[in-house]
């Protein structure tokens, strides 16, 4: 009986949290970001990302406070110090980017085209200066420029959410970017038990008990070692992708 009541509460609380998230995105787009662009036009993207990071931190605090989920982060201080590297993680839940971006300074990412037309988030991704997922060469060039500015670049090489009890199947995009920009990779492993906010799951399909979201930060990977293991860039990318898949599959 108590478990059922707790579950119903978490369903209501989850809806409340995501309603706040959506309305917060609209508020930032309509009021905060235009003000930032007016006051500090030269550094508007940097300032907007700081605001976004604080907003994500507030969202996580709200989810914890109302009992939706509990977070366990191992290595937060490492992410806070990182710059000029790729962050590569598995992608079991809807909130993975939110959690990682709340822990990093100057977090950039490649954004799929659908988000540029999302009524709640298009203003956020535009103000932050995130990289649109267009042509391959244009994306590589934008990534190189962002990394040389000291940003960290968040990539989910699975390309979509995958259940945490499923072996991740990685695409080679992250490896190609790392090799072509000669950028080290920070591997991050995420696990959420019981599973929630997974691909194909509605926000109101809450598990019977409160989920625990665990994030562990791994070592920095020097990609130059993989450039010497093959005679071609595709071969190097394949070897690096295999290595990343092994790391993410075993939990670092």
**What does the radius of gyration of the chain's CA atoms come to, in whole angstroms?**
19
Query: Which of the two residues, 224 and 60, has the higher pLDDT score?
Result: 60
Please name the residues in contact with 75: beta carbons below 8 A apart, sequence gap of 6 or more.
215, 216, 217, 218
pLDDT tens digit sequence for 197-214: 999 899 999 999 999 999
Q: What is the pLDDT of residues 128-141, one digit of tens each?
A: 999 998 888 999 99
Report residue 218 CA to chain centroid gap.
15
Helices of type H across the chain = 2-27, 33-39, 44-65, 76-81, 96-103, 122-128, 136-148, 173-181, 224-227, 233-249
Indicate if the alpha-carbon torsion angle 74, 79, 98, 177 is positive or negative.
negative
List, for residues 91-110, the tens digit of each pLDDT value. Answer: 999 999 999 999 998 999 99
pLDDT at 169: 85
Q: What is the pLDDT of residue 164?
A: 61
- CA torsion angle 77 81 86 89 (round to 10): 10
Closest by CA to 53, choosing from 95, 22, 99, 88, is 99
Q: Which domains does the chain have, with CATH numbers?
A: 2-249 (3.40.1130)
**φ/ψ bin of 45: left (φ > 0), alpha (ψ from -120 to 50), beta (otherwise):** alpha
Q: What dihedral do alpha carbons 96, 97, 101, 104 form, nearest 10°? A: 70
Model pLDDT, residue 229: 64
**pTM of the model as a whole:** 0.94
Distance of CA 69 to the CA centre of its chain: 18
Q: What is the pLDDT of residues 9-43, one digit of tens each?
A: 999 999 999 999 999 999 999 999 999 999 999 89
Residue 156 pLDDT: 96
Task: Specify whether the CB–CB gap between 110 and 209 falls below 8 A.
Answer: no
Q: Report the pLDDT value the prediction gives residue 170, as an integer from 0 to 100.
A: 94
Strand order in the sheet with 185-193: 70-74, 212-221, 185-193, 86-89, 152-155, 107-111, 131-132
Q: Taking all residues of the chain, what is their mean pLDDT, rounded to a whole number?
A: 93
Range list of H helices, 82-223: 96-103, 122-128, 136-148, 173-181
Residues 6+ apart with CB under 8 A from 21: 59, 120
3-state secondary structure (DSSP) of residue 34: helix
């Amino acid at each position: 009986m108590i478990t059922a009541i707790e579950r119903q509460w978490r369903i209501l609380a989850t809806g409340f949290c995501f309603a706040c998230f959506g309305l917060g995105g609209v508020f930032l787009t309509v009021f905060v970001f235009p003000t930032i662009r007016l006051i500090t036009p030269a550094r508007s993207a940097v300032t907007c990302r700081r605001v976004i990071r604080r907003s994500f931190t507030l969202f996580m605090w709200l989810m914890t406070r109302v009992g939706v989920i509990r977070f366990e982060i191992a290595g937060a201080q490492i992410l806070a110090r990182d710059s000029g590297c790729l962050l590569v993680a598995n992608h079991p839940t809807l909130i993975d980017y939110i959690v990682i971006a709340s822990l990093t300074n100057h977090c950039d990412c490649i954004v799929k085209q659908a988000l540029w037309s999302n009524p709640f988030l298009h203003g956020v991704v535009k103000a932050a200066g995130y990289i649109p997922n267009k042509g391959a060469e244009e994306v590589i060039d934008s990534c190189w420029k962002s990394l040389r500015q000291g940003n960290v670049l968040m990539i989910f090489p699975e390309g979509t959410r995958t259940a945490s009890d499923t072996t991740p199947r990685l695409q080679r995009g992250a490896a190609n970017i790392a090799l072509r920009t000669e950028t080290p990779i920070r591997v991050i492993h995420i696990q959420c038990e019981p599973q929630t906010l997974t691909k194909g799951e509605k926000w109101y399909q809450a598990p019977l008990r409160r989920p625990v979201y665990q994030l562990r930060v791994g070592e920095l990977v020097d990609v130059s070692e993989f450039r010497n293991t093959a005679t071609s860039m595709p071969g190097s990318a394949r070897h690096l992708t295999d290595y990343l898949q092994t790391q993410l599959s075993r939990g670092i």
